[in-house]
Amino acid sequence: MTATESRLEHLYADFAEAHLSPLWTQLGDLMPAAPTSQAVPHVWKWSALYPLAELAGDLVPVGRGGERRAIALANPGLGGLPFATPTLWAAIQYLGPDETAPEHRHSQNAFRFVVDGEGVWTVVDGDPVAMRRGDLLLTAGWQFHGHHNPSGRPMAWIDGLDIPFVHYTDTGFFEFGPAAVTDRTTPPTSRSERLWAHPGLSPLVRHHDTMTSPLAAYRWEHTDAALRAQLDLQDEGHPGALTPGHAGVRYSNPATGGDVLPTIRAEFHRVRAGIQTTPRRDVGSCVYQVFNGTGTFDLGETQHPVAKGDLVVVPSWTPWRVSADDELDLFSFSDAPIVERLGLNRGLAVQGAQLP
């Protein structure tokens, strides 16, 4: 070893001792030419998830402390962390007959999406919100919420939260509420819908929070009708669908037209039988759940057949597309509001999205 090499070795040892780290050895890792996510494309099959949630229902009580019988998707690329992507948390939650998930609130924003079943009410800041097949239900950060199941049948749904983002930014607070939900009535329509779910009409009430939708429930009848209309209009020769055979809607805040939550975007897509979507790659990560139908997700180099209930993670900058075998209905959520508000968006359709 030359004298210089020996002095360099000491320099690196001194850096480590002093908790310092030289950029020149790490630039490629810290600043790749394009995003290289640690998260990997992955599919969780509903046929595997649901029986495990059912088993947890038999064996694990739900109550104060544990709070929720929710089983999170742990992306195989994220070293065992209970995170679906670097920003998004996703889980299957299961509530048995006559069970209650106690009230609490947290900074993390949350939603539920129901792939099947009904019979649970989620009580959001005292407003009982029925949960039914195809509905998107919101719980914005710091709203008290608990769930109860008076239906006599178990129910499962998916939860999506910005837990990883709040974790990495050290911005989370949490508070317990009552162990029993405050309002156990079971109205078919929440107070938030009675105020806010009239198309094109905003009530003349105070609503100062512009980052969070005041509407707690987006009902399947409306989503389904909007998608059907897009495809019908296309058939009639009018502009409507996104691309031929592919209809899409974004769930929006009726007060602003913006995203439903400050950190999470939610969408629903319908792809006709035999149609393949335009390949894309986007900055930021996304999770899909198959609501109905069968098809194949191409994620980078890999192909994944999917069926009802399956959950698919598309990491940042992964080229992907979907092909529908029969008509394919897809719910999706992403961290796009974070990416867009911070000016980091570089979404690309077609160009750059090379797929085999």
Interface positions with ligand 1HN (CB under 6 A):
68, 70, 91, 93, 101, 106, 110, 145, 159, 161, 163
- Cβ-based nearer residue to ligand 1HN, 110 or 275: 110
Query: Least CB distance from residue 158 to ligand 1HN, whole Å?
Result: 10
- CA–CA separation, 298 and 356 (whole Å): 9
- Cβ-based nearer residue to ligand 1HN, 106 or 132: 106
Q: Which two tokens stand for residue 332?
A: 């999706």
- Cβ-based nearer residue to ligand 1HN, 161 or 286: 161
Query: Least CB distance from residue 293 to ligand 1HN, whole Å?
Result: 27
Q: Which two tokens stand for residue 162?
A: 């910005």
- CA–CA separation, 355 and 230 (whole Å): 28
- CA–CA separation, 95 and 105 (whole Å): 19
β-strand partners of 322: 297
- Cβ-based nearer residue to ligand 1HN, 175 or 232: 175
- Cβ-based nearer residue to ligand 1HN, 54 or 67: 67
Cα distances (Å, whole numbers) of residue 43 to 196, 246, 332: 35, 22, 14
- Cβ-based nearer residue to ligand 1HN, 91 or 338: 91
Query: Least CB distance from residue 136 to ligand 1HN, whole Å?
Result: 14
- Cβ-based nearer residue to ligand 1HN, 124 or 247: 124
Cα distances (Å, whole numbers) of residue 14 to 4, 24, 288: 15, 16, 47
Query: Least CB distance from residue 146 to ligand 1HN, whole Å?
Result: 7
Query: Least CB distance from residue 112 to ligand 1HN, whole Å?
Result: 7
Query: Least CB distance from residue 133 to ligand 1HN, whole Å?
Result: 18
- Cβ-based nearer residue to ligand 1HN, 15 or 176: 176
- CA–CA separation, 174 and 166 (whole Å): 12
Given a contact cutoff of 8 angstroms between Cβ atoms, the answer to whether 109 and 103 are in contact is no
- CA–CA separation, 294 and 291 (whole Å): 9
The amino acid that residue 353 corresponds to is: A
Query: Least CB distance from residue 110 to ligand 1HN, whole Å?
Result: 6
Query: Least CB distance from residue 68 to ligand 1HN, whole Å?
Result: 4
Q: Which two tokens stand for residue 111?
A: 């939603």
Q: With the CA atoms of 182, 188, 192 and 198 taken in that order, what torsion angle do they form, in degrees rounded to the nearest 10? A: 180
- Cβ-based nearer residue to ligand 1HN, 161 or 271: 161
Angle among Cα 154, 158, 163 to the nearest 5 degrees reads 130
Q: What is the 3-state secondary structure (H, E, C) of 64-93?
A: CCCCCCEEECCCCCCCCCCCCCCCCEEEEE
> Phi, psi (5° rounding) for residue 263?
-120, -10
Query: Least CB distance from residue 70 to ligand 1HN, whole Å?
Result: 4
**Token pair 């162990």 in the structure block, residue:** 179
